[in-house]
Structure 1
Amino acid sequence: MEIPANLETLQAEQAGARLFRQNCVSCHGSPGVPASVQGLKPEPPNLLRAGRRNDPAQVFGKIKNGIPGTAMPAWGDQLPDQSIWALAAFLHHSRGISKGDFDALSSAETDGSPKSR
């Protein structure tokens, strides 16, 4: 799987953070917010924990295709590849993110122009 050039732009990370807040927090939690879905086996990991690798290519595949034998569904029929890559960029960049930084990043509006860090 080829990772897009300039994957971790501020615009992509903001888009990924918003998607994570909208679609992933209920199972994976976020800084200061525990997962609201309980009883899943195996328990979904804390994807924003400091020290996680969150390899973008692996993350992309897991989001797009789901993870067999777990509650992780495939999102490939619901999200375009660009959005899945934005989630991968956010998860790769934001390991160990604070609650305040997550809240700011996931609520930021972008004007659609490319931005880089």
Structure 2
Amino acid sequence: MKQFIIVSLTVLVLLLTALNFGIYNMAATDKHWAPTEKLISWVRDSSINARAKEIEIPVLDEDVMLEEGFKQYHAMCTECHLAPGKQPTAQAIGLYPQAPLFYERASVTDEGEKSFFSKRYFWVVKNGIKMTGMPAWGPTHNDETIWAITAFLQKLHGMTAAQYSALVDTHGDDLMHDHHHDGDHPH
């Protein structure tokens, strides 16, 4: 047992010394080591799942909610998550890890899966994710607005460029002037 502790402490000291000398490149242009990537993904998914599982989901299919979610998504999310038919932006290209492209995901019909995604989306939009570029919108947007974004993210699964373009055409100038923050939060 004593030998195990000595070996463990030696490995820890060597690892910390190597990290102190900059062996691990933190640049967004350099991918994580495979074990680091797996560890980060596992910790992130476990954390989100643990915190999202008890969230109560409101009705998400109301037209007004979907319209509001679309407007919010178009104003706040397309720089990183893009939209169907939109070319990658400089910001999206420079992110590591890359932001998920929700329109590339298959449409979900199973209610259990929809619930799983809705809870996760709501939690992530509200709280953000450390060291990914995903901000927390909870400090500036109320839960109703975040649920609207969540509802739209579900509709975005499998959406085509023509479908997204039709939404943009329908809302036209509103998209440039209708993005708002909640009145009870500072800007």
Give the TM-score normalised by structure 1: 0.82
The question of whether the paired residues in 2 share the 8 Å contact of 1:40 and 1:71 is answered with yes
Gaps spanning 5+ residues in structure 1: where? 110-117
Q: 2:135 aligns with which of 52, 60, 73?
A: 73
> Which residue pairs with 2:11 in the alignment?
none
- Across the two proteins, how many residue pairs are aligned to each other? 109
Gaps spanning 5+ residues in structure 2: where? 1-54, 109-113, 172-187
Per the TM alignment, residue 98 of structure 1 is displaced from its structure 2 partner at its CA by: 1.5
> Which residue pairs with 2:101 in the alignment?
46
The question of whether the paired residues in 2 share the 8 Å contact of 1:14 and 1:108 is answered with no
Cα distance per residue 1:39-92 (max 9 Å; x no partner): 111011101213266711110100000012311010101111111100100111
Please identify the structure whose Cα radius of gyration is greater.
2
CA distance in 1, matches of 2:165, 2:139: 27
> Percent identical across equivalent pairs?
32
From the superposition, tell whether residues 2 and 108 of structure 1 become closer, same or farther in structure 2 (CA, over 3 Å). farther
> Which residue pairs with 2:62 in the alignment?
9
Q: 1:93 aligns with which of 146, 155, 175?
A: 155
Per the TM alignment, residue 107 of structure 1 is displaced from its structure 2 partner at its CA by: 5.3
1:82 match: secondary structure:
helix
The question of whether the paired residues in 1 share the 8 Å contact of 2:103 and 2:160 is answered with no
2:94 match: secondary structure:
coil
CA distance in 2, matches of 1:61, 1:35: 25
2:122 match: secondary structure:
helix
**2:90 aligned with 1:28:** no
The question of whether the paired residues in 2 share the 8 Å contact of 1:28 and 1:44 is answered with yes
CA distance in 2, matches of 1:66, 1:96: 24
CA RMSD of aligned residues (A): 2.0
**Which structure: greater helix fraction?**
2
**Which consecutive segments of 4 or more residues in structure 1 shift more than 6 A?**
none
Per the TM alignment, residue 105 of structure 1 is displaced from its structure 2 partner at its CA by: 2.8
CA distance in 2, matches of 1:9, 1:106: 19
CA distance in 1, matches of 2:164, 2:67: 9
